Chains A and B, each alone.
Chain A
Amino acid sequence: MADTVDIEKKEAQTTDGTEHTREVKVYHPAVDIVEKEKEILLTADMPGVDDKSIDITLDKNVLTIYGKVDPNVPQQYQASYVEYGIGDYRRSFTLSEEIDRQRIEATVKNGVLKLVLPKAEAAKAKKIEVRAA
């Protein structure tokens, strides 16, 4: 019950000073990035997003995830206590050369995006045999 983690959603920053066309807030989703032997797993918490409202683009080596959230303000109700804001999600990552761009897979379940970024064959760790001369 005594949670000590800051759960405030962070708003995403536009680096190039551009503005959003839609009048909604854009948040920075919380992510986990785990590197395994053959792949890198990226998990992003994006509640309110499903497979239809998510956009993943890979431009050169920048991977951008964008999740659109339906604000869905209930009718006939008045907001009387607000702890979290509702808005879209956006976050960009720079991929290294070692990712196999053709085989990136993405799934969304319960508002969590999972991306599997497989490492290219060349980048996988190779064991070098040492022979006695």
Chain B
Amino acid sequence: MLLSDLAGLTRGGLTGGPYRWHGISSVQNRLKQMQDEMQGMLSGFTERQLRQYPAINLWTSEEGVLVSAELPGVNADDLDITVVGRTLTLKGTRKAQEPNETDDCCHRRECRYGTFARAIELPYEVEGAKVSAKFDKGVLTLTLPRAEADKPRKINITSN
């Protein structure tokens, strides 16, 4: 589309003397459209990051991956963590405090309650049996050691 527009303009510019204005405006329109599309794609990307709950941090080293998530108010018993291949899944529930009586008046409601689920793709294959989880003060920390087979191997050079 764009290429043909440009080609049309160049041809017109070279052979037809003065620039044809509709040609330039169509390129401008196309550029504007591309810019809008790009911005839309980028904003979609950041928004999706913000909206996934829980928010996670991921640290890596050659030895493995460390994932942490803030889960205030969740009980350790209500957390379900699974690792399949390179996909880590966090599921859980934060129970609402108590059934609200009708005469209670809510001044602010900013905390999140209910169920959540999130799947994260890990950068490495991990040793499923050696994954350890710690849940302390509402912060979940998972240590996922890298699978032996996936670790980088140093290659020795033999010379004759």
Contacts and interface: CB of A to CB of B under 8 A. Distances in A.
A76 B57 contact: no
B128 interface: no
Of listed A41, A74, A77, A82, residue having the most chain B CB within 10 A: A77
A37 interface: yes
B74 A110 contact: yes
Q: Label chain A's interface by main secondary structure.
A: loop
Interface stretch (B2-10, B35-43, B96-104, B152-160): B96-104
Given A1-B118, A35-B105, A84 B57 contact: yes
B14 interface: no
Interface residues of B, number: 41
Contacts of B138: 45-49, 110-112
A78 B59 contact: yes
Contact of B108 (A8, A33, A78): A33
A43 B97 contact: yes
B72 A34 contact: no
Interface in B129-158: 137-139
Interface of A: 1-9, 30-37, 40-41, 43-50, 74, 76-84, 86, 110-112
